[in-house]
Amino acid sequence: MASEKTVVCGGGGFIGGHLVADLLRQGKKVRAVDQKPLEEWYQLFPGAENLQMDLQEKENCERAVPGCALVYNLSADMGGMGFIESNKALCMLSVLINTHLLMAAKDAGVERFLFSSSACVYAADKQTDPNVTALKEEDAYPAMAEDGYGWEKLFSERMCRHFHEDFGMITRVPRYHNVYGPHGTYDGGREKAPAAICRKVIQAKLSGSNEIEIWGDGHQTRSFMWIDDCVKGTQMIMHGDHAEPLNLGSSELVTINELVDIAEEIAGVKLKRRYNLSAPKGVNGRNSDNTLIRKLFNWEPSTRLRDGLERTYRWIHDQMISPSQDSTPLVRHTVS
């Protein structure tokens, strides 16, 4: 397997870029594919075969997978809650990517196919209380996924199941819970809560405004997974024997107010908080039940939020004060 090529779809994105980096460190042959122009990839590695293609188009999927033993599908039109709630149709159109990739992978004789799903597939009526009971894999049904993005993910999970049942294709599905870390989006509308909070704290400190806007009342709860844990868990799931969707997330539950507390502590500031109750805030509470992943792999994502957020904060801070920083929301990084 080590000598055969792996394709990372969405390789120019946040999680995809980190996965490509890790596969290259292992000595794997990697083909990275992304819709964005190469100069806009979050990380770009000369050691990989880098292709700029729109994977919503079937013929591009047919070009992406030949000669590859493994397909990681991390490609989607997505972002933080502000983007998801305002772009439901765009999020749904990502179904074309997974559909065409599965068809192309079947025809090309790919050995294993991984689809990156999301905790947004979980039923909304199980996420109404900030003191949420951690979500088990079976809590996705009866289905009441997050509108747009969540339904696309849930439908694509089912597509993977049926390609396995009907065609014998080995498919794997991690459900990601709020991944964060360096070399990701922190501005421009697609950023998620940890990066957005870090950016806002840095802006308040640099400008001297000493004020931060928080979406919602700050009492909504989430868990946040460090990117290295995500990359490790993704590969464990790909090579494991579990065919059903599997939670991949930290079980360290915090409120958004507590997330701000941590960022303030890292920055050495205390800010006045202004709550925007009309802004998108998502469900009231969401956490990952890791019982099954611990049983299967004797492992779970365990990097403390305080540790990961400090590294994320330092990286965003360096990007924001760099004289070469431009206005694009994408972070450009080339590693040889």
DSSP state of 288: B
- Is the confidence at residue 96, as pLDDT, over 50? yes
> For position 2, what pLDDT does the model report?
42
**Region class of 109: left (phi > 0), else alpha (psi between -120 and 50), else beta:** left
Q: What is the mean pLDDT of residues 172-201?
A: 93
**Which residue type, as a one-letter code, is found at position 130?**
P
Q: What is the mean pLDDT of residues 225-247?
A: 98
CA distance 107 to 53: 19
For residue 275, what is the enclosing H or E element?
strand 272-276
**Structure-block tokens of residue 280:** 């998108």
CA atoms within 13 A on the CB side of 175: 32
CB-based contact 302:229 (threshold 8 Å): yes
Whats the size of the chain, residue-wise? 336
> For position 330, what pLDDT does the model report?
40
At 3-13, the pLDDT tens digits run 589 999 999 99
CA torsion sign for 184, 38, 229, 148 is positive
pLDDT confidence of 76, banded at 50, 70, 90? confident
CA distance 48 to 336: 10
CA distance 171 to 227: 22
pLDDT confidence of 84, banded at 50, 70, 90? low
| Catalytic (active-site) positions | 149
DSSP state of 334: B
At 291-335, the pLDDT tens digits run 999 999 999 999 999 999 999 999 999 999 984 544 333 444 444
Stated pTM of the model: 0.92
Q: Are strands 112-115 and 174-176 parallel, antiparallel or unpaired?
A: unpaired
